[in-house]
Amino acid sequence: VGEAQILGPELIQETTEKIIQIKQRMKVARDRQKIYADLKRKPMEFQVGNKVMLKVSPWKGVKCHADEPLVVPLDGLHVDDKLHFIEEPVEIVDREVKRLKKSRIPLVKVRWNSKRGPEFTWEREDQFRKKYPHHFTKTAPPSSVAS
């Protein structure tokens, strides 16, 4: 006794019946999921002037849109082509020469226009001069030596 093979029109008929049965089961499952999802949905109505919160994916956090007195003036801000804030040096505040065993490294203290408020960092003078040469045309305060 061996396996019987279905040939010709019988194979087509059985395959068609299986496809119809699969489609019906998928429709039943889809309808069951729709009923469950519809229970969770709430009808929404909006009026002109209503404030609504829209969820946008991917969620990166909540942005605070401040009242008018808290608005930051835009005249001193610079943004790139992707609208990212560009921090730029405002002025050189101080100079210092860092002494190592056999070498000296000139440093400058720079005030930046940071979005977090005034920010100060010590930078190597040679690297800073290459990137921002216009800050060295003015006279700077005398340098102090740090050990």
7: left (phi over 0), alpha (psi -120 to 50) or beta: beta
Residues 141 and 77 in one domain: yes
Give the SS3 label for residue 17: helix
Q: What is the pTM of this model?
A: 0.40
Tens of pLDDT along the chain (147 residues) come to 455 666 788 888 999 999 999 999 999 999 999 999 988 888 888 899 888 887 766 655 666 666 655 555 666 667 778 877 777 888 888 999 989 888 999 999 988 877 666 788 899 999 988 988 887 775 545 555 555
Residues 80 and 18 in one domain: no
Residues 81 and 138 in one domain: yes
Taking every pair of C-alpha atoms in the chain, what is the biggest distance, in angstroms? 105
Number of domains in the chain: 2
